[in-house]
Structure 1
Amino acid sequence: MQWTRDDYRLSTNIDEFDFDVVHRYLSEVAYWSPDVAREKVERAARHSLAFGLFRGNAQIGYARMITDTATFAYLADVFVLPEHHGAGLGTWMMQCVMAHPDLQGLRRMMLVTSDAHGLYARFGFAASKHPERIMEKIGKA
Structure 2
Amino acid sequence: MASSPPTATLTPRTWTRDNSPFFISNDPKLISVKAVNEAFGQDFLYWTKPFPEDVLHQMLHGSMSFGVYRRLQPQQSQTEPFTLTTENTEQIGLARMITDGASFGYLSDTYVLPEYQGHGLGRWLIDCVAEVFSKESMPYIRRIMLLTSEERLQEFYGQVLGMKVVGHEERPDIGKILVYMNARPASRPASD
* TM-score, normalisation: structure 1: 0.83
* Structure 1 counterpart of 2:37, from 17, 23, 26: 23
Distance 1:11 1:17, change over 3 A: same
Which structure exhibits the higher relative contact order, with contacts defined as CA atoms closer than 8 Å and separated by 6 or more residues? 1
Matches within 5 A, 1:30-41: 30-41=45-56
* Structure 2 counterpart of 1:92, from 117, 124, 129: 124
Does residue 1:13 correspond to 2:33, yes or no?
no
**Using the alignment, how far apart are the partners of 2:114 and 2:55 within structure 1?**
23
Does residue 1:109 correspond to 2:144, yes or no?
yes
**Equivalent residue, structure 1, for 2:156:** 119
> What is the aligned length?
131
Q: Is the 8 A contact 1:27 1:36 kept in 2?
A: no
Does residue 1:68 correspond to 2:100, yes or no?
yes
Q: Is the 8 A contact 2:28 2:61 kept in 1?
A: yes
Q: Is the 8 A contact 2:68 2:93 kept in 1?
A: yes
Greater helix proportion:
1
**Using the alignment, how far apart are the partners of 1:61 and 1:67 within structure 2?**
19
Larger radius of gyration: 2
Letter aligned with residue 24 of structure 2: L
What is the aligned-residue identity percentage?
Answer: 34
Please state how far the C-alpha of 1:124 moved relative to its aligned partner: 0.8
**Using the alignment, how far apart are the partners of 2:158 and 2:40 within structure 1?**
23
Between stretches 60-69 and 13-22, larger displacement belongs to: 13-22
Distance 1:103 1:27, change over 3 A: farther
**Using the alignment, how far apart are the partners of 1:40 and 1:91 within structure 2?**
28
3-state SS, counterpart of residue 127 of structure 1 = strand
**Using the alignment, how far apart are the partners of 1:23 and 1:35 within structure 2?**
5
Could you list the runs of 4 or more consecutive aligned residues of structure 1 that deviate by over 6 angstroms after TM superposition?
A: none
Please state how far the C-alpha of 1:127 moved relative to its aligned partner: 0.1
Q: Is the 8 A contact 2:97 2:108 kept in 1?
A: yes
Distance 1:61 1:12, change over 3 A: same
3-state SS, counterpart of residue 141 of structure 2 = coil
**Which structure 2 segments of 5+ residues have no match?**
1-12, 72-88, 170-192
**Using the alignment, how far apart are the partners of 1:106 and 1:31 within structure 2?**
30
For residues 38-89 of structure 1, the C-alpha deviation after alignment (integer angstroms, 9 at most, x for no partner) is: 3222211110111111110111111111111222110011000000111111
* TM-score, normalisation: structure 2: 0.62
For residues 85-124 of structure 1, the C-alpha deviation after alignment (integer angstroms, 9 at most, x for no partner) is: 1111100000011101655541111000112222211221
